[in-house]
Amino acid sequence: MTTAAAATRPKSFVDEVMDATPGCSKLEMCIQCGTCGGSCPSGPDMDHSPRQLFAMIRAGMKKEVLKSNTPWYCVSCYYCYVRCPQEIHITDIMYTLKSMAIKEKNFDEKAGAGLAETFTDYVEQDGRSFEFGLATWHNLKHRPMKLPGMAGLGMGMLQKGRMDMTRHKIQGIGQLQAILNKAKELEEAAS
């Protein structure tokens, strides 16, 4: 019957994004009004406005959506989120798309993905972020030509005592890693 048919029907990309977004994303409610793009501070530099991206998700254009710089250029300002007349959790959907792109290693925005991955590595190793390591590694990897120009900022941060060159590990790092690994396992099993 219909339930059996629904169970065997392959998941559309819209379903996939909605299922992967915690809470109720309401992605299917988009009326293509464009309030999101008009409210977005980095909109002018995005490959696609959020509205366009949502139309592409509905059209099943997974590869193009994940390769777009749009989710990476989202600054988490939540203007679109509070202004959306359909109350779509746009910022949360951007996080979902980023994590999908990283999981499938399908992204063109290398600096955006690189920043998230390097940040995450430090948090998983120490339980804390490590700005000095993040700034040097990230810039070395993704903007080596700009590094000499940024050295002044780094030196200033160090001289003013605003940056630490040593890492700080939390005592319960083993506990934290066990928690994070279990969460990843559960997510894997559910998908």
Partner 1 sequence: MTNKYIFYPGCSIQKNSRAYLDSMLEVQQPLDMQVQEIPDWNCCGATEYAAVHRTASYALVGRNLALAEQMKDGADTVVAACSACYLNLAKTDKYLRNDQKLNEQVNMALAAGGLHYNAGSVQIRHLLDVIVNDIGLEKIKKSVVKPLKGLRIAAYYGCMIVRPDPDKRWDSPEYPMALDKLMRALGAEVIDFPLKTHCCGGHMTQINPDTAYELIRRLVHSATEYKADMLVTLCPMCQLNLDAYQVEMNKALHTNYNMPILFFTQMMGIAFGKDPAALGFGKEFVNAAPALAKIGVSAPAGGEPPAAKAKKPEGLPMPQMPSQD
Q: Which residues bind partner 1 (CB under 8 A)?
A: 20-24, 41-42, 45, 71-73, 75-79, 81-82, 91, 95-96, 98-99, 102, 109, 111-113, 115-117, 119-120, 123, 127-129, 131, 135, 138, 146, 149-150, 152-153, 155-157, 159-164, 168, 170-172, 175-176, 178-184, 186-187, 190
Nearer to partner 1, 61 or 69 (CB): 69
Give the number of other CB atoms < 10 A from CB of residue 136. Answer: 17
Nearer to partner 1, 8 or 171 (CB): 171
Listed in sequence order, the residues at least 6 apart from 17 whose beta carbon sits closer than 8 Å to its beta carbon are 25, 27, 57, 93, 96, 97, 100
- What is the nearest approach in angstroms of partner 1 to the Cβ of residue 57? 17
- What is the nearest approach in angstroms of partner 1 to the Cβ of residue 56? 19
CB of 12 closer than 8 Å to CB of 62: no
- What is the nearest approach in angstroms of partner 1 to the Cβ of residue 89? 8
- What is the nearest approach in angstroms of partner 1 to the Cβ of residue 42? 5
Nearer to partner 1, 3 or 76 (CB): 76
Nearer to partner 1, 7 or 190 (CB): 190
d(CA 114, CA 133): 13
CB of 167 closer than 8 Å to CB of 158: no
- What is the nearest approach in angstroms of partner 1 to the Cβ of residue 10? 22
d(CA 147, CA 87): 41
CB of 94 closer than 8 Å to CB of 74: yes
How long a stretch of residues is the chain? 191
